[in-house]
A and B are shown apart, each in its own frame.
Chain A
Amino acid sequence: MRRYDVCIIGAGPAGLSAAIEAQKLGMKSAVFDENHRPGGQLFKQIHKFFGSKEHMAKIRGFEIGKELLEEAKNVGVDVHLDAVVMGIYEPHRITVREDDSITSYSADSIIVSTGASEKTIPFEGWTLPGVIGAGAAQTMMNLYGVRPGKKILMMGSGNVGLVVGFQLLQAGCEVAALIDAAPRIGGYGVHAAKLARCGIPFYLSHTVVKAEGNGKVEKVTIAEIDKNWEFIPGTEKTFDVDTVCLAVGLTPMSQLLRMAGCKTKYAGGTVPVCDKFGETSIKGLFASGDVSGIEEASSAMIGGKISAVGAAFRCGFINEKEREQKYDEYSLSLFKLRKGLFSKENKGRTDITKTDEGIDLSMTLFKKGYMTEEELKKFVRNSEIKGPHPVIECTQNIPCNPCEDSCSFGCIHVGNEISAVPKFDENKKCRNCKMCVASCPGQAIFIVDNDIGDGYASVSFPYEFCPLPEIGEKGFALGRDGKDLCVAEIIDVTTNKAFDSTAVVTMKVPKEMSMTARFYRKEVPVNE
Chain B
Amino acid sequence: MSKIIDRSADIGEFVPEKDDDILVCRCEEITKGEIRKAVHMGLYTMTEVKRFLRPTMGLCQGQICGENVRRIIAKELKEPIEALKETTARPPVRPIEMEVFGNEVEKL
Q: Are A101 and B94 in contact (CB under 8 A)?
A: no
Residues of A within 8 A of B67 (CB): 119, 251, 269
Complex alpha-carbon distance, A404 and B26, angstroms: 49
Band of interface residues on A: 20 to 34
Min C-beta distance of A80 to chain B, whole Å: 15
Min C-beta distance of B94 to chain A, whole Å: 5
Min C-beta distance of B89 to chain A, whole Å: 4
Q: Are A87 and B65 in contact (CB under 8 A)?
A: no
Interface residues of A in 97-128 (CB under 8 A from B): 97, 100-102, 117, 119-124, 126-127
Residue of A34, A124, A251, A266 ringed by the most chain B CB atoms within 10 A: A266
A85: nearest chain-B partner, CB-CB: B93
Complex alpha-carbon distance, A125 and B91, angstroms: 32
Complex alpha-carbon distance, A100 and B23, angstroms: 34
Q: Are A101 and B68 in contact (CB under 8 A)?
A: no
Residues of B within 8 A of A87 (CB): 90-93
Q: Are B90 and A259 in contact (CB under 8 A)?
A: yes
Q: Is A292 an interface residue (CB 8 A)?
A: no
Map CB proximity to A onto B44-86 as digits: 1 under 8 Å, 0 otherwise. 0000000000000000010111011000000000000110001
Residue of A122, A123, A259, A269 near B91 (CB, 8 A) is A259
Residue of A84, A253, A256, A265 ringed by the most chain B CB atoms within 10 A: A84
Q: Are B93 and A259 in contact (CB under 8 A)?
A: yes
Min C-beta distance of A101 to chain B, whole Å: 6
Residue of B1, B23, B96 near A86 (CB, 8 A) is B96
B90: nearest chain-A partner, CB-CB: A259
Q: Are B23 and A84 in contact (CB under 8 A)?
A: no
Q: Are A97 and B100 in contact (CB under 8 A)?
A: yes
Q: Are B22 and A120 in contact (CB under 8 A)?
A: no
Complex alpha-carbon distance, A266 and B83, angstroms: 9
Complex alpha-carbon distance, A86 and B89, angstroms: 11
Map CB proximity to A onto B18-44 as digits: 1 under 8 Å, 0 otherwise. 010011101000001000000000000
Q: Are B103 and A266 in contact (CB under 8 A)?
A: no
Q: Are A258 and B92 in contact (CB under 8 A)?
A: no
Min C-beta distance of B46 to chain A, whole Å: 12
Residues of A within 8 A of B104 (CB): 101-102
B83: nearest chain-A partner, CB-CB: A266
Q: Are B91 and A258 in contact (CB under 8 A)?
A: no
Residues of A within 8 A of B94 (CB): 34, 84, 86, 97
Residue of A122, A126, A264, A266 ringed by the most chain B CB atoms within 10 A: A122
Residues of B within 8 A of A84 (CB): 92-94, 96
Q: Is B13 an interface residue (CB 8 A)?
A: no
Question: Contacts A86-B96, A127-B26; is A95 near B91 (CB within 8 Å)?
Answer: yes
Q: Is A299 an interface residue (CB 8 A)?
A: no
Residues of A within 8 A of B65 (CB): 120
Question: Contacts A251-B67, A269-B67; is A101 near B103 (CB within 8 Å)?
Answer: yes
Question: Contacts A86-B96, A101-B100, A265-B1; is A124 near B22 (CB within 8 Å)?
Answer: yes
Residue of A101, A102, A266 near B82 (CB, 8 A) is A266
Q: Are B81 and A102 in contact (CB under 8 A)?
A: no
Residues of A within 8 A of B19 (CB): 122-124
B86: nearest chain-A partner, CB-CB: A270
Q: Are B1 and A266 in contact (CB under 8 A)?
A: yes
Q: Is B6 an interface residue (CB 8 A)?
A: no
Complex alpha-carbon distance, A302 and B15, angstroms: 49
Q: Are B89 and A256 in contact (CB under 8 A)?
A: yes
Residues of B within 8 A of A269 (CB): 67
Interface residues of A in 111-150 (CB under 8 A from B): 117, 119-124, 126-127
Residues of A within 8 A of B82 (CB): 265-266
Q: Is B99 an interface residue (CB 8 A)?
A: yes
Q: Are A255 and B93 in contact (CB under 8 A)?
A: yes
Residue of A100, A121, A127, A255 near B99 (CB, 8 A) is A100
Which 6 A-B pairs have CB atoms at the shortest separation, nearest pair first? A87-B91, A266-B82, A86-B92, A258-B89, A255-B89, A259-B89
Other CB < 8 Å A-B pairs besides A97-B94, A266-B1, 13 of them?
A: A84-B92, A84-B94, A88-B91, A100-B99, A101-B103, A102-B103, A123-B22, A255-B93, A256-B93, A258-B88, A259-B89, A259-B91, A266-B81
Sample (27) of A-B pairs whose CB atoms are under 8 Å apart: A34-B94, A84-B93, A84-B94, A84-B96, A86-B93, A86-B94, A86-B96, A87-B90, A87-B91, A87-B93, A95-B92, A97-B92, A97-B100, A100-B100, A100-B103, A101-B107, A102-B104, A117-B63, A119-B67, A122-B23, A123-B22, A124-B22, A126-B23, A251-B67, A255-B93, A256-B93, A258-B86
